[in-house]
């Protein structure tokens, strides 16, 4: 039942097998190898420049080109020593198998090719609206996808080990299957609001990615049910959460787990979540595609040790996606999952009634809110079986005084009143009298430049100088 955890391993094995069935004859000369690359296309490898040139017309035949990856040139596999691929003018189709040449640092396309183009070593369709293949061994750490690109082809960035960050343009609408599979250094990728569609396993085996945000217009994520390990983030063991734009009409995120909007389908679980137990919501009925493949596998880091399957689940296939010994299944007695496990001889489970309560990720839940004067209550539940494990009090908050509010304006003869209330419970905390303003007499104005006292002082000085001047003239 246990299958290999990594697609990378599987693909490498496939390449080795191809070596065994290799049927391309190549002429050995001093520095050049060559052979057929399709019905009317040929390949030539120049050991002096480590350049592989595809010439002729029509489509490249995928099986030939996949085989070339395993050909040995002077003791090295082609995919290790080829430094550059040149696509000739007459090539009309490059199959996906061609991308098996993972370690290429650059692609070059003849400028007069009608179907393809290249820029900075990256392969595009002619008008550069589709990014076909990023050269996986390019040394670039941050790559900015050209503005105007609307689609990233399947496997386009697969195994690009040096990439830490990919900046996507706001023209991008679609990223196809496995596009970033195995980009083990990729930490940063922000999907733009223009995104509408994601293929299968786009971010699987991305071993540095910490979070993923689904923007508001991304309403199609390829049907993960079509394969057991088709999750968008399959085996991405560092991914702690998947977040989503609130106004996304098709999907939602609950505690970092991705669901369809109604919650009936669990689309993707972030493998690197810190929680030790996860309870699948009881809105979910179908787990036949198991979005938890390989969780609990011995060879892989994994925090999840308890997975609770609700009684609403009526479809399950644990053989499709292997769940490792480290992650124990929990469910109710006589539920569908219980019957399924007994029927299939699966023993890696515990009935909820026998829960050992060792799960610490449960947060305090408030059962009675504290008020200004009365304490509240809170409980901590077992995250697996909901048994209450701890109860506690929440201290009364005390009042929160607000601003003074005048409740009665003073008049010339009557005093007024002002109060200070608690902003939470509105109770009056302080009350004060405002003195009567006193017979309508204006209080003396302050000693400003326009005030009467100032005017009087100036007048006195003028009089003083006039008298002084008169006396001076007199004597």
Question: Footprint of Zn ion on this chain (CB under 5 A)?
Answer: 355, 357, 372, 382, 384-385, 387, 399, 422, 424-425
Number of Cβ atoms within 10 Å of the Cβ of 148: 12
Nearest-approach distance from CB 277 to Zn ion, in angstroms? 9
Q: Which is nearer to Zn ion, 252 or 326 (CB)?
A: 326
- d(CA 475, CA 473) in angstroms, rounded, equals 6
Nearest-approach distance from CB 383 to Zn ion, in angstroms? 8
Q: Give yes or no for a contact between 109 and 122, defined as CB atoms under 8 angstroms apart.
A: no
Of 310, 345, 315, 312, the residue nearest 331 (C-alpha)? 310
Q: Which is nearer to Zn ion, 402 or 410 (CB)?
A: 402
Q: Give yes or no for a contact between 154 and 133, defined as CB atoms under 8 angstroms apart.
A: no
Tokens of 204: 């699987």
Q: Which is nearer to Zn ion, 158 or 384 (CB)?
A: 384
Q: Which is nearer to Zn ion, 83 or 420 (CB)?
A: 420
Nearest-approach distance from CB 451 to Zn ion, in angstroms? 45
Of 128, 107, 119, 120, the residue nearest 54 (C-alpha)? 107
Q: Which is nearer to Zn ion, 329 or 385 (CB)?
A: 385
Q: Which is nearer to Zn ion, 133 or 399 (CB)?
A: 399
Nearest-approach distance from CB 374 to Zn ion, in angstroms? 10
**Secondary structure of residue 79 in the 3-state scheme:** helix
Triad 310, 274, 321: Cα angle to 5°: 50
Nearest-approach distance from CB 390 to Zn ion, in angstroms? 12
- d(CA 172, CA 152) in angstroms, rounded, equals 8
Q: Which is nearer to Zn ion, 186 or 385 (CB)?
A: 385
- d(CA 317, CA 287) in angstroms, rounded, equals 7
Q: Which is nearer to Zn ion, 124 or 349 (CB)?
A: 349
Nearest-approach distance from CB 422 to Zn ion, in angstroms? 3
Q: Give yes or no for a contact between 438 and 458, defined as CB atoms under 8 angstroms apart.
A: no
Nearest-approach distance from CB 384 to Zn ion, in angstroms? 5
**Secondary structure of residue 18 in the 3-state scheme:** helix
Tokens of 262: 């109604």
Number of Cβ atoms within 10 Å of the Cβ of 205: 23
Q: Are strands 376-381 and 364-368 parallel, antiparallel or unpaired?
A: antiparallel
Distances (CA, A) of 262 to 162, 217, 266: 39, 17, 10
Number of Cβ atoms within 10 Å of the Cβ of 10: 11
Nearest-approach distance from CB 371 to Zn ion, in angstroms? 7
């Amino acid at each position: 039942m246990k299958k290999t955890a990594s697609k990378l391993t599987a693909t490498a094995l496939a390449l080795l097998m191809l070596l065994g069935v290799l049927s391309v004859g190549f002429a050995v000369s001093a520095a050049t190898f060559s052979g057929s690359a399709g019905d009317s296309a040929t390949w030539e490898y120049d050991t002096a420049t480590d350049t592989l040139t595809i010439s002729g017309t029509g489509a490249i035949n995928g099986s030939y080109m996949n085989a070339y990856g395993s050909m040995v040139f002077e003791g090295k596999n082609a995919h290790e020593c080829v430094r550059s691929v040149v696509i000739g003018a007459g090539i009309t189709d490059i199959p996906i198998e061609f991308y098996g040449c993972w370690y290429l640092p650059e692609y070059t396309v003849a400028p007069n090719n009608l179907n393809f183009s290249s820029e900075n070593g990256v392969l595009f369709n002619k008008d550069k609206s589709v990014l076909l293949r990023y050269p996986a061994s390019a040394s670039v750490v941050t790559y900015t996808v050209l503005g105007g690109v609307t689609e990233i082809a399947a496997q386009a960035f697969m195994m690009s080990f040096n990439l830490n960050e990919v900046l996507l343009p706001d023209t991008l609408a679609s990223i196809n299957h496995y596009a970033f599979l195995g980009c083990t250094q990729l930490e940063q990728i922000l999907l733009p609001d223009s995104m509408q569609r994601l293929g299968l396993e786009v971010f699987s085996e991305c071993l540095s990615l910490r979070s993923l945000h689904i923007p508001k217009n991304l309403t199609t994520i390829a049907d993960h049910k079509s394969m057991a390990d088709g999750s968008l983030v399959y085996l991405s063991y560092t991914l702690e959460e998947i977040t989503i734009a609130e106004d996304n009409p098709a999907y939602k995120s609950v505690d970092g787990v991705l669901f369809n909007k109604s919650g009936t389908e669990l689309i993707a679980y972030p493998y690197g979540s810190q929680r030790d137990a996860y309870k699948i919501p009881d809105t979910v009925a179908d787990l036949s595609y198991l979005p938890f493949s390989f969780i609990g596998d011995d060879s892989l880091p994994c925090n999840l040790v308890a997975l609770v399957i609700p009684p609403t689940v009526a479809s399950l296939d644990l053989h499709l996606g292997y769940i490792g010994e480290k992650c124990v299944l929990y469910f109710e007695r006589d539920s569908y999952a219980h019957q399924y496990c007994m029927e299939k001889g699966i023993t890696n489970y515990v009935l909820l009634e026998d829960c050992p309560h060792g799960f610490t990720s449960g947060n305090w839940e408030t059962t009675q809110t504290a008020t200004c004067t009365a304490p509240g209550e809170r409980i901590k539940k077992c995250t697996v079986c909901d048994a209450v494990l701890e109860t506690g009090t929440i201290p009364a908050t005390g009042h929160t005084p607000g601003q003074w509010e005048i409740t009665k304006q003073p008049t010339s003869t009557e005093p007024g009143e002002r109060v200070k209330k608690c902003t939470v419970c509105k109770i009056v905390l302080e009350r004060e009298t405002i003195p009567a303003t006193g017979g309508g007499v204006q209080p003396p104005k302050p000693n400003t430049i326009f005030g009467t006292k100032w005017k009087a002082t100036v007048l006195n000085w003028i009089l003083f100088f006039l008298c002084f001047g008169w006396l001076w003239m007199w004597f």
